[in-house]
Amino acid sequence: MDSKDVYQAAVLFLLFAFTAAVAADGSDGGGASYIFGDSLVDAGNNNFLQTLSKANIKPNGIDFKPSGGQPTGRYTNGRTIGDIVGEELGQQHYAVPFLDPNTTGEAILYGVNYASGGGGIMNATGQIFVNRLSMDIQIDYFNITRKQIDKLLGAEKAREHVMKKAIFSITIGSNDFLNNYLLPVLSIGARVSETPDAFVDDLISHLRSQLTRLYQLDARKFIIGNVGPIGCIPYQRTINQLKENECVALPNQLALRYNAKLKDLVAELNDNLPGATFVHANVYDLVMELITNYNKYGFKTASKACCGNGGQYAGIIPCGPTSSLCDDRDKHVFWDPYHPSEAANLIIAKQLLEGNPKYVTPMTLRELRDLGL
């Protein structure tokens, strides 16, 4: 082997070593995404639960290319907001569902998804579905992941990975109203015992403790979504027999009451948790903009579910094999009675990545990713 060959071999070896080191500590440039929340961002955890809330049936996932259009447990026709954000931030892999038996080893360095359809801030939320992962349980599971990262990288590098390279995404709260407080009074809803203000205060108190616990596990970069206009989803429009441009007042009023206090909580945590950055995502106004001005964004309806059955807006029965299915999925804001379509998720994700300060403050997700690197 001459000197030129030796040089080329050395370069190749160093390049291979560098690539291996990058893979080993998860620092591929895109960082990692740890996702907490409900069915809006569940990537398949509920597939592994005995629960009434599942999306691993056709035609869910019909436009999800990695699975060839097969259902994965995502409650939409394609990618969730979490999937899209991860792609745009340069992450090599989607955050994998924590409950998937294959979620082991180096895969966790690129991100883990703990979200669960039916889950909420309160442990009682979603009990009508039998099983679901509440926010408290999701953080218990991250604690397990956190210890696994220590074993993979060693304590010092693990802490740096979590603090600098990981974004913690929280999309939760809708079920605390839809599948807790707003349930019929004679059922299991919290309305039996609490006023709206007391319930909202309870939610904020629990969320404060939960986010602080993540901080204590070295989380430093957070994106916190508020509750969207839940009075405008096809389910609410259908059961209340509303006109196309009408929304149910009470759910939206409760969401706005919670959202105002959530914004204060985000400011409080930014002030009181040293080294942490909490980004506030104004999902309510963003989704309301899509619903109000859907034509402007290329949609033909913001009231009717693409996949569903029952009533004027196909809003009663969840999406499944017997559902009616629209042909123009990218023209519907809503995929099913509760969840946005991939087309809507794309618009929401873009705003969070690089959008108007009306929707994402004090910085975009791209800026959050690069912070402190």
Check if 336 is active-site.
Answer: yes
What local confidence, expressed as pLDDT, does residue 184 receive? Answer: 78
pLDDT tens-digit readout, 149-160: 999 999 999 999
292 in a structural domain: yes
For 31, the token pair is 């960082």
Residue 35 and residue 28: Cα distance in Å, rounded?
18
Within a domain: residue 4?
no
Distance CA 188, CA 126 (A): 10
Q: How many domains does the chain have?
A: 1
The alpha carbon of 154 is separated from its chain's Cα centroid by a whole number of angstroms, namely: 29
Which tens digits make up the pLDDT trace of 1-20? 444 443 344 333 333 333 33
- Per DSSP, the residues of 160-204 read HIIIIIEEEEEE--HHHIIIIITS-TTTT-GGGT--HHHHHHHHH
The answer to the question of residue 253 being in a domain is yes
Tokens of 2: 């001459």
The Cα angle at residue 181 between residues 50 and 76, in degrees rounded to 5: 50
Whether 280 sits among the annotated catalytic residues: the reply is: no
Compute the distance between CA of residue 145 and CA of residue 219 in angstroms, rounded to an integer. 12
CATH number at residue 279: 3.40.50.1110
Q: Name the active-site residue from 161, 280, 332, 339.
A: 339
* Closest-CA residue to 126 (of 206, 196, 61, 46): 46
* pLDDT for res 191: 64
Q: Is residue 326 part of a domain?
A: yes
Determine, yes or no, domain membership for 22.
no
- Environment class of 361 (CB within 10 Å of its CB; exposed 0-12, middle 13-18, buried 19+): middle
Contacts of 207 (CB under 8 A, 6+ apart): 121, 135, 172, 173, 262, 265
Which member of 27, 39, 134, 169 is catalytic?
Answer: 39
C-alpha count within 13 angstroms, C-beta hemisphere, residue 167: 28
pLDDT at residue 192 in the model: 64
Instruction: Please list the ranges in the chain whose pLDDT falls under 70.
Output: 1-30, 185-192, 373
Tell me the β-bridge partners of 169: 35, 223
**Is 14 within a domain?**
no
Residue 8 lies in a domain: no
How are beta strands 277-281 and 221-225 bridged, if at all? Answer: parallel
* Rounded Cα distance, 65 and 80, in Å: 12
pTM: 0.91
Backbone φ, ψ for residue 31 (5° rounding): 75, -155
3-state secondary structure of 300: coil
CA separation, residue 108 to residues 73, 83, 152, 370 (Å): 19, 15, 10, 20
Sign for the CA dihedral angle at 285, 120, 77, 103 comes to positive
Radius of gyration, alpha carbons of the chain: 21
Q: What is the pLDDT of residues 26-72, one digit of tens each?
A: 444 569 999 999 999 999 999 999 999 999 999 999 999 999 999 99
Helix (H, G, I), strand (E, B) or coil at 333: coil
Separation between Cα atoms, residue 146 and residue 37, nearest integer Å? 18
- The pLDDT, as a whole number, for residue 94 is 95
Which domain covers residue 49, as residue numbers?
30-370
pLDDT for 194: 87
Active-site hit among 38, 42, 63, 336: 336
Please report the pLDDT score of residue 16 as a whole number.
37
In the chain, % of residues over pLDDT 70: 90
Measured at the alpha carbon of residue 360, what is the angle toward residues 175 and 369, in degrees to the nearest 5?
A: 100
93 in active site: no
Q: What's residue 372's pLDDT?
A: 83
In a domain, 212, yes or no: yes
